[in-house]
């Protein structure tokens, strides 16, 4: 596979060397949007681009080419570029920038094999967020007046989903600042570029605060569904109504040289409204290298499986799988015949059993009826969730930069390596390794390594205990973020990382067996360097901390902890769990 040059150029180069018969671009399936009247600067490139895509047909190895320039797409909804069931498709640009509007989906690839997307920049004419400065606050704290920056024209009719305070110098969230959702009851334009927001409850804004307001959600800028061996290379995404890159139900892929970041040269404080890259229910190897993820309204990278809620149907000896609180579940999350499903307790995440899907029948509402051996029906009367063990991604994140964003830099689960990357100014943990039944993300952490990273000034809002957090969370009665003490994670190594000014501990780990924390360097931490609770077979060795701090551990875990060769670390027994 040739991700950095088009297959057309490779074939033409071979022809010039006499390695194959020369062929015309049409013979090679090469289509330029320019051949369909698409020109940089025109009012709407959409119709011509769709005509060019139609010319591609289903020819294997086809290439859709954008010459350099700025291309505007006028549609505010729907799909701008749809590619279904294609083999070895390449969509390429020589530095072309594509401008979109509203909640349109720029690129949707479904069921494609070995597709390549290369050399394009994606942006929005009017970014899907606004930013400005607080100039007045109501006496009761339930209203705030914001003067919006000129780059973000407003008329008072905007939907505002979330509000957050930012630091213009770092282009990240303000330390110990505000981050609230579903709080705006109404917005009124009281002067040019000035919005008066009525709030549902008191929020402690201060005059002079820089505020970012996120507007509508929408589809991903690039969405890959049930594709195989995809390549995303040398792309830039400067704005997105929701997720920048969404990957669902795919098998294997490579992401290299991709930049999800604020528009260079602008004063924008955000890029995408949600995750930079979100990969769910995928299998195979996902390699992400030499990328930048900055300014997202949620995680930089989130690679996860999906816990489906289980409703046993004893009468027909089957399990009904649903999306739970996120119903309907997406179609690409459906299990396949022969898949092994791990059933876990809804109250502790403890594994109950594994069953094999003998048949899978789609039902309405994003549900599936899965036939399983009769002796497995009704295993438990408590709430259960199922996760498909086939949809388990082997993740490598290497040499990437995360200069600042709301939420986490990387959220990962099993079979993951996060290495040689830099993290700074995340509002929460730089790296989160945790299954979570509230978000229905998993599986449990197994065979995961975090090594050789630089992590500084993370956890700006101090909502999490550490720069790297390993744990497990359940959701009793729908309450989010409730930790479980059940030991369900195993084989986790955190080694050779450099922590600088973590806002809290450097590492917090819980619900984990076979934990190694080795050769890490911690500078200017809080009084607690490492926090360990409900861990078994843990080893801390060769770590250095300056100034001196402590390892906080519960009494039972203390007997499971080996410490050797550390410098600047004391030991503190936390007896709150006794």
481-526 per-position pLDDT tens digit: 999 999 999 999 999 999 999 999 999 999 999 999 999 999 988 8
Q: Is residue 415 part of a domain?
A: no
- Whether 544 and 492 map to the same domain: the answer is yes
Structural domain that includes position 434: 429-574
- Whether 237 and 210 map to the same domain: the answer is no
The 10 Å Cβ neighbour count of residue 399 is 14
> Using 50, 70 and 90 to split pLDDT, how confident is the model at 379?
low
pLDDT confidence of residue 4:
40
Q: Is residue 280 part of a domain?
A: yes
Domain end marker among 338, 365, 388: 388
Can you tell me the distance from the alpha carbon of 225 to that of 244, in angstroms, rounded to the nearest whole number? 14
- In CATH, what number is assigned to the domain containing residue 94? 2.160.20
> Using 50, 70 and 90 to split pLDDT, how confident is the model at 534?
very high
Q: Say how many domains are in the chain.
A: 4
45 Cβ contact list (under 8 Å, min separation 6): 33, 38, 39, 71, 72, 73, 98
Q: Is residue 377 part of a domain?
A: yes
pLDDT confidence of residue 29:
87
- Whether 438 and 569 map to the same domain: the answer is yes
pLDDT confidence of residue 12:
35
> Using 50, 70 and 90 to split pLDDT, how confident is the model at 20?
very low
Residue 484 belongs to what H/E stretch?
A: none
Q: Is residue 242 part of a domain?
A: yes
Beta bridge partners of 492: 448, 515
What would the two tokens of residue 57 be? Answer: 């047909």
- Whether 482 and 559 map to the same domain: the answer is yes
- Whether 312 and 441 map to the same domain: the answer is no
Q: Is the pLDDT of residue 23 over 80?
A: no
Average pLDDT over residues 462-471: 96
pLDDT digits 0-9 by tens, 328-359: 889 999 999 999 999 999 999 999 989 999 99
Q: Is the pLDDT of residue 13 over 50?
A: no
State the pairing for strand pair 251-256/283-289.
parallel
Q: Is residue 381 part of a domain?
A: yes
Percentage of the chain modeled with pLDDT above 90: 87
The 10 Å Cβ neighbour count of residue 139 is 6
Can you tell me the distance from the alpha carbon of 217 to that of 208, in angstroms, rounded to the nearest whole number? 27
Radius of gyration, CA atoms only, the chain: 25
Q: Is residue 495 part of a domain?
A: yes
Read off φ and ψ for residue 145, nearest 5 degrees: -110, 130
460 Cβ contact list (under 8 Å, min separation 6): 172, 173, 174, 175, 176, 177, 425, 426, 427, 503
pLDDT confidence of residue 314:
79
What would the two tokens of residue 58 be? Answer: 């289903």
Can you tell me the distance from the alpha carbon of 362 to that of 346, in angstroms, rounded to the nearest whole number? 23
Q: Is residue 418 part of a domain?
A: no
pLDDT confidence of residue 81:
98
> Using 50, 70 and 90 to split pLDDT, how confident is the model at 11?
very low
- pTM across the whole model: 0.94
Domain end marker among 245, 271, 298: 298
- Of the candidates 207, 144, 135, 131, which has an alpha carbon nearest to the alpha carbon of residue 171? 131
Q: Is residue 203 part of a domain?
A: yes
117 Cβ contact list (under 8 Å, min separation 6): 90, 91, 92, 107, 109, 222, 230, 231, 232, 233, 235
- Whether 557 and 442 map to the same domain: the answer is yes
- Whether 454 and 548 map to the same domain: the answer is yes
- Whether 467 and 510 map to the same domain: the answer is yes
- Cα dihedral 433/436/440/443 (nearest 10): 50
pLDDT confidence of residue 377:
63
- Whether 447 and 547 map to the same domain: the answer is yes
- Whether 260 and 373 map to the same domain: the answer is no
The 10 Å Cβ neighbour count of residue 39 is 12
> Using 50, 70 and 90 to split pLDDT, how confident is the model at 15?
very low
Q: Is the pLDDT of residue 467 over 70?
A: yes
pLDDT confidence of residue 502:
92
- Of the candidates 554, 546, 512, which has an alpha carbon nearest to the alpha carbon of residue 529? 546
State the pairing for strand pair 521-523/498-500.
parallel
Read off φ and ψ for residue 156, nearest 5 degrees: 90, -5
Domain end marker among 267, 298, 329: 298
Can you tell me the distance from the alpha carbon of 252 to that of 108, in angstroms, rounded to the nearest whole number? 17
- Whether 513 and 534 map to the same domain: the answer is yes
Residue tagged 């924390």 (tokens): 517
CA 469 and chain centroid, separation:
16
- Whether 93 and 238 map to the same domain: the answer is yes
- In CATH, what number is assigned to the domain containing residue 204? 2.40.10.170
């Amino acid at each position: 596979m040739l991700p950095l040059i088009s297959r057309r150029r490779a074939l033409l180069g071979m022809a010039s060397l006499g390695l194959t018969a020369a062929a015309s671009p049409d013979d090679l399936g090469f289509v330029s949007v320019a051949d369909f009247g698409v020109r940089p600067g025109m009012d709407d490139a959409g119709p011509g681009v769709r005509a060019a895509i139609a010319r591609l047909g289903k020819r294997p190895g086809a290439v859709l080419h954008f010459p350099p320039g700025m291309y505007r797409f006028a549609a505010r909804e729907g799909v701008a570029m749809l590619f279904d069931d294609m083999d070895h498709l390449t969509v390429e640009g020589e530095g072309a920038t594509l401008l979109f509007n509203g909640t349109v989906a720029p690129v949707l690839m479904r069921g494609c094999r070995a597709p390549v997307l290369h050399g394009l920049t994606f942006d929005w004419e009017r970014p899907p967020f606004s930013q400005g400065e607080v100039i007045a606050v109501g006496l009761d704290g339930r209203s705030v007046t914001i003067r919006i920056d000129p780059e973000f024209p407003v008329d008072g009719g905007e939907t505002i989903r979330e509000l957050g305070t930012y630091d213009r110098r770092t282009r990240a969230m303000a330390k110990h600042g505000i981050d609230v959702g579903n709080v705006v009851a109404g917005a009124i334009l009281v002067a040019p570029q000035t919005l008066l927001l009525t709030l549902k409850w008191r929020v402690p804004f201060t005059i002079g605060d820089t505020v970012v307001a996120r507007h509508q959600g929408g589809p991903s800028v690039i969405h890959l569904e049930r594709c195989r061996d995809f390549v995303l290379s040398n792309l830039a995404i400067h704005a997105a109504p929701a997720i920048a890159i969404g990957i669902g139900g795919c098998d294997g892929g490579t992401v290299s040289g991709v930049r999800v970041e604020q528009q260079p040269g602008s004063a924008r404080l955000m890029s995408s409204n949600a995750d930079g890259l979100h990969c769910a229910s995928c299998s195979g190897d996902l390699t992400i290298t030499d990328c930048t993820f900055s300014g997202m309204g949620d995680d930089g990278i989130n690679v996860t499986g999906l816990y489906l809620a289980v409703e046993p149907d004893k009468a027909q000896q089957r399990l009904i799988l649903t999306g739970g609180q996120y119903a309907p579940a997406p179609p690409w999350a459906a299990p396949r015949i022969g898949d092994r499903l791990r059933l876990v307790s809804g109250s502790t995440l403890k594994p109950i059993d594994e069953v094999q899907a003998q048949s899978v029948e789609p039902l309405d509402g994003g549900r599936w009826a899965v036939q399983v051996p009769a002796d497995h029906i009704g295993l438990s009367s408590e709430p259960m969730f199922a996760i498909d063990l086939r949809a388990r991604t082997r993740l490598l994140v290497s040499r990437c930069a995360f200069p600042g964003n709301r939420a986490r830099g990387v959220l990962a689960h099993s079979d993951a390596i996060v290495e040689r990357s830099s993290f700074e100014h995340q509002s929460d943990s730089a790296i989160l390794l945790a299954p979570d039944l509230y978000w229905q993300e998993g599986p449990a952490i197994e065979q995961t390594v975090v090594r050789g990273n630089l992590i500084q000034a993370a956890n700006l809002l101090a909502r999490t205990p550490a720069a790297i957090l390993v744990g497990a969370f359940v959701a009793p009665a729908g309450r989010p973020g409730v930790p479980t003490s059940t030991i369900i994670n195993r084989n986790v190594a955190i080694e050779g990382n450099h922590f600088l000014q973590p806002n809290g501990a450097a590492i917090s780990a819980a619900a984990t067996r076979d934990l190694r924390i080795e050769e890490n360097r911690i500078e200017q931490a809080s009084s607690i360097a490492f926090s360990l609770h409900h861990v078994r077979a843990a080893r801390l060795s060769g770590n250095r901390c300056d100034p001196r701090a402590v390892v906080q551990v519960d009494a039972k875990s203390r007997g499971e902890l080996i410490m050797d060769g550390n410098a600047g670390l004391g030991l503190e027994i936390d007896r709150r769990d006794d």
